[in-house]
Amino acid sequence: MRKRVLVTAMSFRRSKEALALLEDNGCEVIVSPYNRALQEAEMLDLIKGVSAIVAGNDALTEKVIAAGMPVLEIIARSGAGYNTIDITAARRFGVPVTNTPGANTRSVADLTVGLMISLARNITRLNQSLHAGNWEKSVGGELGEKTLGVVGTGNIGGEVIKRAVAFDMKIVAFDIYPRRDLVEKYGVIYLPLKEVIAQADFLSLHVPVIPETINLINKATLPLMKPTAYLINTARGELVVEEDLGNALKQGVIAGAALDVFNKEPLQDSSLNNLPTAILTPHIGASTREASDRVGIMAAEEVIRVLSGAAPRYPVN
């Protein structure tokens, strides 16, 4: 009997090569009927009898993992973040959780820089205005000689820095593990977090969700930013208190913000809706053909390894 693999990750579904890899290795692939991340009740309906899950940002709670036992052998996260998975429960049940480090790095870094340019040149607002029949111009700014503050200099943060240097930006950064290679190659200056926030003309977030980073940007930290500064978040929605950011934008505390991630997705009622100084995109950081293929193949290979009795290559628990 072929082992059943539940695929809920949207990025994985876009990769024909990754789907074929599972099927060619004897797996029965079951694709989620939902075009979004699944809630706990929905996962409970689908998980029984499943040997592996290729997951996106789905609610893989203790209850869900328990319902998958004793058949469930692996949860393969199609992406880097795994904050929606109960890692402690998975460990207790002996289910390895894996991710795909570095697979979507370029795509997220590209989007980050694209959002920076759009903020600096008012591209989104002017596009909407022109489509509405207006010939409106505005004076924007250049990226060159501006200061980019990077919070988190892992894979994605490092790629953003590499791109920003090509625009002649000065880079200041915060990370609990400073990278000597970024200092030597790109002249990155590591500073305490508050100093990075205060110096940045563009502040870009690239840290995981851990107790120390939840609500990192809030009504206390936003006033530390320059009134001409922009915030970019392509990491995790939990890093920003959206209501505080909305109030800061309305009051002119900062000049603008661009967010690809939110506390609750899909985004519905939010203090950020309809603000002309806010650019909002629907969590598309990894939504490129190239990233989908890389992420999908890495996740599929992890599933195949574990279902064949081998140890995973990229365990997070």
* Residue numbers annotated as active site: 236, 265, 283
Contact 177, 157 (CB under 8 A): no
Give the integer Cα–Cα distance in Å for 185 and 26. 46
Question: Could you tell me how many residues make up the chain?
Answer: 317
Contact 93, 73 (CB under 8 A): no
Contact 29, 7 (CB under 8 A): yes
Contact 61, 89 (CB under 8 A): yes
Contact 35, 286 (CB under 8 A): no
Residue-wise DSSP of 185-249: HH--EE--HHHHHHH-SEEEE-----TTTTT-BSTTTGGGS-TT-EEEE-S-GGGB-HHHHHHHH
Cis before 282? omega within 30: no
| 248-276 exposure pattern, b = at least 16 Cβ within 10 A, e = fewer | bbeeebbbbbbbbbbeeeebeebbbeebe
